[in-house]
Structure 1
Amino acid sequence: MVPNLRQTELLAEVRARGSISVEALAEKFGVTLQTVRRDVQRMAEAGLVARFHGGVRVPASTTENIAYRQRQALHAEGKARIARAIAQRIPAGCSLILNLGTTTEAVARELLKHQGLRVITNNLNVAMILADNPDCELVMVGGVVRSRDRGVIGEAAVDFIRQFKVDIGLVGISGIEEDGSLRDFDYREVMVARTIIEHSREVWVASDHSKFKRPAMAEVARLAQIDALFTDAQPPEPFPSLMRDAGVELVVAD
């Protein structure tokens, strides 16, 4: 297709933000929801954008995540709600592992007043945040530091985590596909996440609404391997049914 002026501007807005709701696009360009949906449908058919429930994003890659700084800005309000919901469920005096992702970093900020925590993390950003909590014992995982997001990955990180068994493992992911698989992009990161799952008594997943139906190359786990999934909006079908069948608690943060 050859986009018209409005569609070109809409496409530029999506690319600038990485992801945006249909309602926000309609408000920005002063058009109806139906007009935006028609534009989005045409551009999606041409491969210029990708649709998800209630919004639109840059076309998904199954091999590479979007840039860290862009992910920080995406769905920040929803991630904050998820973080508050998770923090409210974490009791004082428990042990947990926080892995990579901007949502887990939001959770770390909500834990600054928790007492008696023992937190293991392979996320330098999480460590820098929680270092300001004097009532939290912080254990930093060793390994290779991925410079673009300060994540610690690789075989050394896997071996380090295998020393522990924690009360809660909190895992961030990049995509949940309709076959019930939780997915991510970097296989070295995936190996660390799998180890966290294996060495946690309870496994919680933090995932904003844009992750549903988002493809990624490497499988982290299946829904049946986790205990609870925290998100910021009711997920589309078939995910509620898949989670019920797998015995996963779905927590939608208001």
Structure 2
Amino acid sequence: MSLTYEERRQTILAQLEMDGKVQVHALAELFNVSTETIRRDLDRLEKEEKLRKVYGGAVRMRSEMIEPVFLKRSQMHQSEKQAIGKLAASLVEEGETVMLDNGTTTLEIMRQLKDRADVTVITNSVVIMTCALEDFQGKVIFAGGEVNLSYQAATGPIAHNMLDQFKVNKAFISAGGVSLADGITEYNLEEALISRKMMQRAEESILLVDHSKFGVTTFAQIAPIEQISMIITDQGCSQEWIDALHRLDVEILVSE
């Protein structure tokens, strides 16, 4: 018995979630239906704003091509970010030096580390630096450079040259999206390059993303998923994504 549209729809959306794209001929073969049927399915899904049709198939709809400002981001999925930050901070061992890139979730790590006098934090984030100056008991180093007022972070050659001076235990990285096809991505090229540099200067790179970032591709690639040592996320992350990351030998921790 052939599948109904609703059954095909569920599978198409699941594949978009994992791969970011689907192909007409592959779907026709999978469902044992004509390519015309698949094209009609994609037409309907496009009208529902679930995808965008391209030549030969469709890609996941990007609802926001421009990243929200820092304040707005800090209010999105706030409880999940706090839980992720708490779990990430618990991984910082005595005497370690860590790098925190510019993100609302990495900011939560800084808040959790405030009483850790034995820890050194290196960051390019003005917001994280400001947080550290308030009540952090450890050592903080600002990787300075040209400060982007929109992103409230230092970027550019000076920041890169400063990060090159250090070798640290852990880099905690945030991202705009995580995709099997496109890897770990960020909205802004300069921020993506800083995050990539931090990964290169760390013994272990840990990605912090809430469940809304999975299956999303933004503008600039930070790194392929396989280059990350561990991903910390929240309970909204689907089992399909957890299984996919395990197949890539990427450790995943889910916060409470």
TM range (shorter): 0.7 to 0.9
Offset of 1:237 from its aligned partner?
Answer: 5.7
**How many correspondences in the alignment?**
205
2:133 aligned residue: 131
Instruction: Give the SS at the match of 2:134.
Output: coil
Letter in 1 for 2:94: A
Contact kept, 8 Å, 2:80 with 2:234, in 1: the verdict is yes
What do residues 3-35 of structure 1 show as CA deviations (whole Å, max 9, x unaligned)? xxxxxxxxxxxxxxxxxxxxxxxxxxxxxxxxx
CA distance in 2, matches of 1:173, 1:180: 12
Letter in 2 for 1:225: Q
Letter in 1 for 2:215: K
Contact kept, 8 Å, 2:99 with 2:168, in 1: the verdict is yes
Contact kept, 8 Å, 1:180 with 1:242, in 2: the verdict is no
1:240 aligned residue: 242
1:7 aligned residue: none
Matched, 1:201 2:203: yes
Offset of 1:199 from its aligned partner?
Answer: 0.5
Contact kept, 8 Å, 1:60 with 1:214, in 2: the verdict is no
Q: Which moved more, 1:126-135 or 1:169-178?
A: 126-135
1:76 aligned residue: 78
Contact kept, 8 Å, 2:146 with 2:154, in 1: the verdict is yes
Superposition RMSD in Å: 2.3
2:27 aligned residue: none
CA distance in 2, matches of 1:129, 1:182: 26
Alignment of 1:90-105 (within 5 A): 90-105=92-107
1:88 aligned residue: 90
What do residues 163-211 of structure 1 show as CA deviations (whole Å, max 9, x unaligned)? 1110000001010013260001111111111110111001001101110
Question: Which structure has the bigger radius of gyration?
Answer: 2
2:233 aligned residue: 231
Task: Extract unaligned runs of 5+ from structure 2.
Answer: 1-43, 53-60
CA distance in 1, matches of 2:239, 2:94: 35
CA distance in 1, matches of 2:47, 2:177: 21
CA distance in 2, matches of 1:235, 1:88: 20
2:17 aligned residue: none
Instruction: Give the SS at the match of 1:77.
Output: helix
Matched, 1:60 2:63: yes
Alignment of 1:1-254 (within 5 A): 45-47=47-49, 59-62=62-65, 64-133=66-135, 135-179=137-181, 181-236=183-238, 238-254=240-256
Instruction: Give the SS at the match of 1:164.
Output: coil
Letter in 1 for 2:178: I
Letter in 2 for 1:184: E
Identity in percent: 22
Instruction: Decide whether aligned partners of structure 1 residues 223 and 134 sit closer, same or farther in structure 2, where only a CA change above 3 A counts.
Output: closer
Task: Extract unaligned runs of 5+ from structure 1.
Answer: 1-41, 51-57
Contact kept, 8 Å, 2:118 with 2:138, in 1: the verdict is yes
Contact kept, 8 Å, 1:154 with 1:188, in 2: the verdict is yes
What do residues 141-171 of structure 1 show as CA deviations (whole Å, max 9, x unaligned)? 1111111231111122111101111000000
Q: What is the TM-score when the length of structure 2 is the normalising length?
A: 0.74
